[in-house]
Every structure is written in structure tokens, then in C-alpha cells.
């Protein structure tokens, strides 16, 4: 099938859709990018969609493994968010990292595609990931500069304060939940100045946990999510080692979902 408009999404777990579980879909997830593609197709059936993102990928891997395949698809719209997995490593040279990012965005922009970039999320309220907040702030300044330099659109995730509500996050406290991905899809479509008929889900009531219950919840999170995450880092393995892109070629999605 030939598509005159082509949306290609690049990145890691954020763009793959981790946290927005759907066993009926490739890799078992849906995500904001799928939801954006569905809305674009609902308005115009000439859109095709590819999602090359794979969980666990660092920025260099995203550029090395996804950039050429993306350009081969002759995209008219490209989204790129990567670098979060680098920021979480014990050591990272943000300046060196972003030099490669700049080169990659330059290639995407030179293709004639509309390019949409994302800043990183503000982890100020996270007891664990908040320690990397300074790194993310430096990363974000680079993203803003690169976006200005190459005429890219920008979604400033750092400034989306509604995501400070942890009801938009999955149990692992690292990825957005289905509600979070739905909200992100609406924010992306706003930046693209595209219409949508996405209905935001009603959030559950806020729980007020006792000190004992909060401690138990934190202990469960450490056991089920933090320890395995740290273990993978120590072993040099990635959560995405057994995964491939869920939509490596342009496809149409059912916008009636």
C-alpha cells in the first residue's frame, strides 16, 4: 500500500509504548505514538505509520539502528525521543552524547520531514530518579538548542506539570501508564496542530496511604522493579534485548480502537 503521508517514530520504551499494555498488539504494548497515528489516519487515510522504537535502547543505539531505516521510509513526520537510558547510567558525558544527537536530527531535518523532539521529564518528585534531574536539565537545554538550530518542533515534557500526578504512571514508576500515554498523545497532537477525538480516561481517586502502607508499597516496588532494573545494568543486559521494532514497515492502524 502506498502512503502519501508517513509518520515514523524513533526511540526507546517511551515511544515503543511500554506501560500501555495491550497483549493483542506487537510487543504487547500500544503507546502514545500508536494513538497519534490512529488520530492522523482518522482525519486522513493517506497516512502510514512505522514505529522503530525498542525499549532499553541508548541514544547511540537509536541513531545507529533506527536512523537509516527511518530515512529509507521517506517520512513526512518523524518523532525522536532518546537519551533517557544514557542519563540513568552511572556515568555519562551529556555534551558528547548530544553532539551525535545534533548530527542525527540534522539528517532527519535535511530529509524534508517535519521533526518533533522531546525534552526529558522532570523527576524532581522521584526519590530515586530525582538524582539525575541535573543531567536531564542539561540534556533539555541541548534538545531546545538543536530544535531551534534545525527548525524542529518541540514538546517540552519537562514543563508538562500534569505528569507530576503519579496516577499517569505505571507501577514501575519509570514508564507512563495507559492514562499517561493517552494524555501524551493529546499533547503531541496539539504540537502538530492536528485534531483528535481522544477521550482522556478518568483517573482513580487519590489514595492517602498510612506510613506503614506507603513503606510496604515502596518495598514491593524495590523488589519487583528496582532490583531487576539494577541487576540488568550490572549484567550489561537490556530489557529490549529480545525485542524488535513493532512496526518496522509503514502500515495502517485501525483508528476506531
202 is a domain residue: yes
The full length of the chain comes to 257
DSSP 167: G
Q: What is the pLDDT of residues 14-71, one digit of tens each?
A: 999 999 999 999 999 999 999 999 999 999 999 999 999 999 999 999 999 999 999 9
118 is a domain residue: yes
- DSSP SS3 for 160: coil
Listed in sequence order, the residues at least 6 apart from 253 whose beta carbon sits closer than 8 Å to its beta carbon are: 34, 37, 38, 41, 49
Instruction: Please answer whether residues 16 and 27 qualify as being in contact, where contact means their C-beta atoms are separated by less than 8 angstroms.
Output: yes
257 is a domain residue: no
231 is a domain residue: yes
Greater confidence (247 vs 238) lies with: 247
Q: What is the pLDDT of residues 121-179, one digit of tens each?
A: 998 877 667 788 999 999 999 999 999 999 999 999 999 999 999 899 888 868 999 99
Number of domains in the chain: 1
Instruction: Look up the domain containing 168 and give its range.
Output: 5-251
State the CB neighbour count (10 A cutoff) for residue 112.
10
- Report the candidate in 16, 61, 23 with the shortest Cα–Cα distance to residue 175: 16
Instruction: Please answer whether residues 36 and 188 qualify as being in contact, where contact means their C-beta atoms are separated by less than 8 angstroms.
Output: yes
Global confidence as pTM: 0.89
CATH for 155: 3.40.50.1110
Q: What is the pLDDT of residues 194-231, one digit of tens each?
A: 999 999 888 887 777 677 655 555 556 556 655 565 56
256 is a domain residue: no
Query: CB burial class (10 A; 0-12, 13-18, 19+) of residue 87?
Result: buried
236 is a domain residue: yes
Position 124 scores a pLDDT of 84
Tell me the pLDDT band of 118, cut-offs 50, 70 and 90: very high
Amino acid at each position: 500500500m502506498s502512503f502519501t503521508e508517513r509518520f515514523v517514530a524513533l526511540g526507546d520504551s517511551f515511544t515503543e509504548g511500554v506501560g500501555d499494555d495491550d497483549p493483542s498488539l506487537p510487543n504487547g504494548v500500544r503507546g502514545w505514538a500508536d494513538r497519534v497515528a490512529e488520530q492522523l489516519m482518522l482525519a486522513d487515510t493517506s497516512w502510514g505509520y512505522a514505529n522503530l522504537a525498542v525499549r532499553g535502547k541508548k541514544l547511540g543505539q537509536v541513531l545507529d539502528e533506527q536512523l537509516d531505516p527511518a530515512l529509507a521510509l521517506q517520512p513526512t513526520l518523524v518523532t525522536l525521543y532518546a537519551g533517557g537510558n544514557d542519563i540513568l547510567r552511572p556515568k555519562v558525558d551529556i555534551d558528547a552524547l548530544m553532539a551525535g544527537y545534533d548530527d542525527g536530527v540534522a539528517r532527519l531535518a535535511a530529509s524534508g520531514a517535519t521533526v518533533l523532539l522531546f525534552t526529558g521529564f522532570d523527576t524532581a518528585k522521584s526519590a530515586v530518579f530525582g538524582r539525575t534531574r541535573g543531567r536531564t536539565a542539561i540534556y533539555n537545554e541541548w534538545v531546545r538548542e538543536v530544535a531551534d538550530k534545525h527548525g524542529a518542533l518541540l514538546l517540552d515534557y519537562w514543563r508538562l506539570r500534569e505528569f507530576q500526578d503519579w496516577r499517569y504512571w505505571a507501577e514501575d514508576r519509570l514508564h507512563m501508564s495507559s492514562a499517561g500515554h493517552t494524555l501524551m498523545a493529546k499533547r503531541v497532537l496539539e504540537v502538530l496542530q492536528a485534531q483528535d477525538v481522544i477521550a482522556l480516561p478518568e483517573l482513580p481517586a487519590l489514595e492517602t496511604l498510612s506510613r506503614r502502607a506507603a513503606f510496604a508499597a515502596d518495598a514491593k516496588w524495590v523488589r519487583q522493579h528496582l532490583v531487576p532494573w539494577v541487576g540488568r545494568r550490572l549484567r550489561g543486559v537490556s530489557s529490549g534485548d529480545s525485542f524488535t521494532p513493532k512496526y518496522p514497515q509503514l502500515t495502517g492502524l485501525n483508528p476506531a480502537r
